[in-house]
Amino acid sequence: MAPYRGADMHQQGDVFPGSFLFGVATAAYQVEGNIENDWAEWERQGKLKQPGMRCGRGVDHWNRYVEDYALARSVGARAFRMSLEWARIEPTRGRMDEAAIDAYRQRLVRMKEAGLRPVVTLHHFTHPTWFHRETPWHLPESVPTFRAYARVCARILEGLDALVVTLNEPMVLLLGGYLRGLIPPGIADGGLAMAALGNIARAHVAAREELLARCGRVELGISQNMLVFAPDRAWHPLDHALTRLAGQAYNHAFVEALLTGELRVNMPGLASTRQTIAGARDSLDYLGVNYYTRTHLRFTARPPFVAMAYRDPFGRGHTDIGWEQYPEGFGKLLREVKSRHGLPVWVTENGIDDRVGDRRALYLHGHWTQLLDAMRNGVDVRGYLHWSLMDNFEWLDGWGPRFGLFAVDFETLERRETPACAYFREVAEGRRLVAPSPLAEPGAARLAAAG
Ligand code: FCB
């Protein structure tokens, strides 16, 4: 078994710069509770992996936000990523809910008072229920619709010096919602998907214009889910070709569109497009990177001609939902972002679903080692936001996965420290990367023994 690279190296250079912010990440639908949107509808239609499952009261963050900000502070966080729920703000098309607007404003002011820099996502997968019926993403009307919502978000964010994420993981929304029909709006159509992607890019531009006009100081970017792709068979040229195409289409094409104004996607047999996105040139102040894992791609003789698998070549053990633990990929992608896009980076998500709680500290150590290494090599990373502060509702997987630094009892909603909290606190407050204590970490002890 191979230990993570750098597992035993913690030397002088392993210090995070003073300006670097450690923080935690959440998203409205996954934590707040009692939201009526397209996902709630999706659940009622029995579309989750466990058809009877509901998000319902979430983990009641809507009422417990003060306690949750304190939890974040207790592990040394100085930034907190949350999202605004469009369905709360605009429950009926064109009718903004002033009480919801005030409630969000009050929460963000409170967050700042608690010593946490707000990182605010405008769109994290969910939509008001009317959206897909009236102005779905594949129609041009979606763009002014999003602009009107963003104008209200600007009121909420005014003067707060927030880091703004206009869109979370547009390629995940596209693949899941428009190419595979697995998440709302449940479409599987390459043509509609490419129309939607162009409009999603235009929605980013519209939101940027609204926020820059109304908010004063604000930094804007998107969160991009980035995967490392690898050929399943090292000797197979088509596996290599797939790997190259997937990396370009999934990781880079959308980011390039927001830097050059040209959206070019080429997924042979699935979807392709070339579109000009007016106003998109240089429309990112930073790139938010969400990194979790690597996937191996294999060319297959029958449609869809590609099979995906999470391998475990180093024997580190898959995460509970079956992802490979591959911290080396984090460093590789960070360097790739620098060489391809030259943008400052915020890590807007990274974490592990770890039910037992004995692998998270080691996972963090492996990823932070890579992060520091990339920073020493010139990648301008401004902060790291851990997914997630606490266990929450994981989309199609519902209440199964446990991504929280704090475990949540889903009956009593009580939040409890996992073993990784002490380690997170030690590094976030000390600003020095140390190895997690093997005694506190049975997972680390196992790895050290085997390594
Ligand atoms: C990301 C999502 C986030 C969470 C993590 C595990 O793709 O942005 O909401 O579900 O995965």
Q: CATH number, domain at 76?
A: 3.20.20.80
Separation of 171 CA from ligand 1 center, angstroms? 12
Looking at the structure of the chain, the number of domains it has is 1
For ligand 1, the distance from its centroid to the CA atom of residue 9, given in whole angstroms, is 30
Is the pLDDT reported for residue 6 higher than 60? Answer: no
Atom of ligand 1 nearest to the CA of 395: 10
Give CA–CA dist 258/174, Å, rounded: 16
Is the C-beta atom of 353 inside 6 A of ligand 1?
A: no
Distance from the CA of 234 to the center of ligand 1, in angstroms?
A: 30
pLDDT mean over 292-312 = 95
Q: In this structure, is residue 101 part of a structural domain?
A: yes
In a domain? residue 12: no
Mean per-residue pLDDT for 384-397?
98
Q: What is the mean pLDDT of the chain?
A: 95
Q: Is residue 103 part of a domain?
A: yes
pLDDT tens, residue by residue, 52-67: 999 999 999 999 999 9
pLDDT of residue 4: 46
Of 26, 360, 387, the residue with max ligand 1 atoms within 8 A of its CB, to mutate for a pocket test, comes to 387
395 lines ligand 1 (CB under 6 A): yes
In a domain, 4, yes or no: no
Instruction: State if residue 387 touches ligand 1 by the CB under 6 angstroms criterion.
Output: yes
Look at 98-102, 210-214, 439-443 and tell me which has the smallest mean pLDDT.
439-443
pLDDT for 13: 66
Across 248-267, average pLDDT: 98
pLDDT at 2: 43
Is residue 8 in some structural domain?
Answer: no
Is 6 within a domain? no
Distance (Å) from CA 388 to ligand 1 centroid: 9
Angle at 273 (CA atoms; ends 271, 274), nearest 5 degrees: 165
What is the span of the domain harbouring residue 290?
Answer: 21-450
Percent residues over pLDDT 90 in the chain: 92
Q: Which residue has the higher pLDDT, 445 or 373?
A: 373
| Spatial separation of the C-alpha atoms in residues 315 and 343, rounded to whole Å | 34
Does 444 score more than 60 pLDDT? no
Task: Find the DSSP H helices in 174-288.
Answer: 190-214, 237-246, 253-260
Separation of CA 109 and ligand 1 centre (Å): 25
C-alpha angle 230/235/238, rounded to 5°? 65
In a domain, residue 15? The reply is: no
Cβ atoms within 10 Å of 390's Cβ, excluding its own: 25
Q: Tell me if 327 is assigned to some domain.
A: yes
pLDDT at 3: 44
Q: In the prediction, which pLDDT does 269 show? A: 87
